[in-house]
Structure 1
């Protein structure tokens, strides 16, 4: 089950459950769409994977399984995965 992290790890932008801007990698690293497209170029700085739109949790599931309460904040200073991977499709990395 997804943690539903509620902020962009890079800029701390709010990404509530119903956000259409939330993007996640396979490890649930969570960034806003702007960061993924313009800074990270679809390369996760934590694992090198690609990003997909994060699904939202249905309202009736939010009570039993609420979003993660603490923030994950890891501003991107250097993305060592970017150069070797930015021209390779995520499913080929």
Structure 2
């Protein structure tokens, strides 16, 4: 089951559980849409994996399986921007 982390790992912005503009990699590194698109170009700076939209967990399922409250923040993420493709 996905953790549904509460913040962007790069800018530390709070992310709502139902926000459709949140992206994750296969290791659940979590990014707001702005950081995913504009900073990381849809590539995870931690594992070089593809960033995809995080699914929204239905409200009923959240009652029994709540989102994580553990924040992951890596302020050095801006120094790990992927090289341009090409």
TM-score with structure 1 length normalisation? Answer: 0.83
Comparing both chains, which one has the higher relative contact order based on Cα–Cα distances under 8 Å and sequence gaps of 6 or more? 2
CA distance in 1, matches of 2:43, 2:22: 15
Residue 63 (structure 1) shift:
1.6
Structure 2 gaps, min length 5: none
Aligned-partner Cα distance in 1 for 2:49–2:60: 31
Once the two structures are superposed, the pairs formed by residues 2-81 of structure 1 within 5 Å of their partners are 2-75=2-75, 76-79=77-80
Q: Which runs of 4+ in 1 moved over 3 A?
A: none
> TM-score under structure 2 normalisation?
0.89
Q: Are the counterparts in 1 of residues 22 and 54 from structure 2 also a CA contact under 8 Å?
A: yes
RMSD (Å), alpha carbons:
1.5
1:21-40 alpha-carbon deviations (Å, 9 max, x no partner): 21101111000111111111
Structure 1: how far apart are the matches of 2:68 and 2:55?
Answer: 15
Where structure 1 has 5 or more consecutive residues not aligned to the other structure, the ranges are 89-93
